[in-house]
Amino acid sequence: MGIDPGLANTGWGVIETRGSAARALAYDCIHTSSSDKLDYRLGLILNRIGFAIREYTPDAVAVESIYFGANTRSAIWTAHARGAAIAACAAAGVEVGEYTPMQIKQAVVGTGSADKHQVTFMVRELLALDHDPKPDHCADALAAAVCHAHVARSQHIASRALAKGVHA
């Protein structure tokens, strides 16, 4: 499962992998209103992520880390949403992997400087979808899940190689 955290919009997506092949099982975006109180908004994120975890029982969850650009205030709101999502994972006992936006783009597109259109296109291709996942937050969440699947697969292959005595 992948999560693209945001206070106004938190995307989540669940994929299934078999070897190097992957397919999307489900995705959605949790919308919260700026007119609602912060505790309500965070509770909604926590509950909806928790429901998705119970519904799809992922082995692990990949959460996009926060990019601290020029807008620190926005990063703080995103950090609140991210915390609610991670708390839902912790409550369900699901392992959390954290990836920077650059790591996710690198894993999915092949370059850490990819734009949103490139990420959406590659998510559609990699997961054999017949449509672009919308909104962008869903595509980003699915991309995080694909990134984690690639990392987990690489770690599995490396650990098997080490067990056989193969060294780089």
Residue 122 forms part of a structural domain: yes
Q: For residue range 83-133, what is the model confidence (pLDDT) as tens digits? A: 999 999 999 999 999 999 999 999 999 999 999 999 999 999 999 999 999
Considering only CA atoms, which of 73, 26, 70, 31 is closest in space to residue 52?
26
Give the span between the Cα atoms of 81 and 42, in whole angstroms: 6
163 pLDDT band, cuts 50/70/90, is low
How far from 20 is each of 45, 71, 150, 154, CA to CA, in Å? 31, 38, 8, 10
Domain that holds residue 56: 2-163
Structural domain contains residue 41? yes
pLDDT of residue 71: 73
Q: Report if residue 22 sits inside a domain.
A: yes
Q: Which of 4-13, 51-60, 62-71 has the lowest mean pLDDT?
A: 62-71
The pTM (predicted TM-score) of the whole model is 0.89
Listed in sequence order, the residues at least 6 apart from 59 whose beta carbon sits closer than 8 Å to its beta carbon are: 94, 95
Domain count, the chain: 1
